[in-house]
């Protein structure tokens, strides 16, 4: 009971970036500590594209654990909705003249080093103003060297900047149900230092989700999770990411986390 009271007290002090208000009472609270949701660094390339009101592409780059990429329309329709759709919806609402389009590229079972090899081609093809790079999960599964992982991510950030693309890095998901099989924490820690060195925002999804689990906002331990858990979690991640993007667009000077 004491923990629950403290949890509610903490929630009241949070920055409710992207909080769900229109359907309060029917959807879970979408909240996280402000230190996990602010950008910390500006996104000047994206800000310039939005200000010019030209077509603005946001690329979501993902290394999935699937054996093969989703290719057919039927396969895509059968998949639960992830956070890129929420980002596109909310960004279009906030910047209606920005022509925002969110596109995704999935490279199944790819480490950061593998993605780095194809990144120039992907950037040349999609020409994004912002790349949201989910990284670290498959590196953790393979127990890749964390120094090599950090070097690859930092080089990827530099490659994106040279191509005129801002970057937000997203750390692996937190899951108590898979922690026994592989440990993503060292890779999340490596990303914190790497993004500081690269002067780009880090969306610390691992700590955000661990906070949700601790505070009972989402139950990741249940043997019978809610049918809507995936979409609820990803919609919330999308909202918080949009809050971070807006923070980075509105920042006039580079800061530090």
Binning pLDDT at 50, 70 and 90, where does residue 107 land?
confident
70, 119, 214, 218 from 105: Cα distances, Å: 10, 10, 32, 28
Please give the model's pTM, rounded to 2 decimal places.
0.80
Burial 228-248 (b: 16+ CB within 10 A, else e): eeebbbbbbbbbbbbbbbbbb
In the chain, beta strands by DSSP E:
56-62, 100-106, 130-134, 166-170, 202-203
| DSSP single-letter state for residue 96 | T
The CA distance from 92 to 210, in Å, is: 29
The CA distance from 109 to 66, in Å, is: 7
Report percent pLDDT > 90 for the chain. Answer: 51
Binning pLDDT at 50, 70 and 90, where does residue 34 land?
confident
Q: Please tell me whether residue 18 adopts helix, strand or coil conformation.
A: coil
- For residues 9 and 106, the model is more confident at 106
Q: How far apart are the first and last CA of the chain?
A: 34
Burial 114-153 (b: 16+ CB within 10 A, else e): ebbeebeebbeebebbbbbbbbbbbbbbeebebeebbbbb
Q: Please tell me whether residue 59 adopts helix, strand or coil conformation.
A: strand
Q: What is the pLDDT of residue 53?
A: 86
Q: What is the pLDDT of residue 115?
A: 94
pLDDT at 89 over 80: yes
Q: What is the pLDDT of residue 183?
A: 86
**Residue 239 contacts residue 212 (beta carbons within 8 Å):** no
Domains and CATH numbers, the chain: 2-219+235-248 (3.40.50.1110)
Binning pLDDT at 50, 70 and 90, where does residue 209 land?
confident
Share in percent of the chain as helix, strand, coil (round to 5)? 50, 10, 40
pLDDT in tens, 149-171: 999 999 999 999 999 999 999 99
Distance from chain centroid for Cα 218? 17
Kindly give, in sequence order, each residue whose CB lies less than 8 Å from that of residue 80, ignoring residues fewer than 6 positions away.
Answer: 230, 231, 234
Q: What is the pLDDT of residue 223?
A: 55
């Amino acid at each position: 009971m004491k923990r629950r009271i403290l949890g509610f007290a903490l929630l009241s002090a949070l920055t409710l970036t992207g909080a769900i208000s229109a359907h309060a009472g029917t959807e879970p609270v979408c909240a996280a500590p402000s230190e996990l949701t602010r950008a910390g660094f500006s996104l000047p390339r994206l800000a310039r594209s939005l200000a010019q009101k030209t077509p603005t592409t946001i690329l979501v780059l993902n290394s999935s654990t699937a054996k093969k990429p989703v290719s057919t329309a039927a396969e895509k329709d059968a998949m639960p909705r992830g956070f890129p759709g929420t980002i596109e919806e909310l960004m279009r609402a906030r910047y209606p003249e920005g022509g925002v389009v969110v596109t995704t590229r999935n490279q199944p079972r790819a480490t950061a080093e593998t993605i780095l090899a194809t990144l120039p081609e992907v950037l040349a093809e999609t020409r994004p103003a912002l790349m949201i790079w989910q990284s670290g999960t498959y590196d953790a599964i393979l127990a890749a060297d964390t120094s090599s992982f950090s070097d690859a991510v930092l080089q990827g950030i530099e490659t994106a900047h040279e191509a005129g693309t801002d970057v937000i890095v997203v750390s692996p998901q937190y899951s108590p149900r898979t922690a026994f099989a592989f440990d993503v924490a060292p890779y999340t820690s490596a990303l914190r230092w790497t993004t500081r060195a690269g002067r780009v925002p880090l969306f610390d999804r691992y700590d955000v989700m661990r906070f949700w689990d601790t505070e009972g906002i989402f139950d990741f331990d249940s043997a019978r999770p809610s049918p809507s858990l995936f979409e609820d979690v990803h919609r919330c991640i999308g909202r918080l990411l949009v809050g971070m993007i807006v923070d980075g667009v509105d920042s006039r000077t580079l800061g530090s986390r």
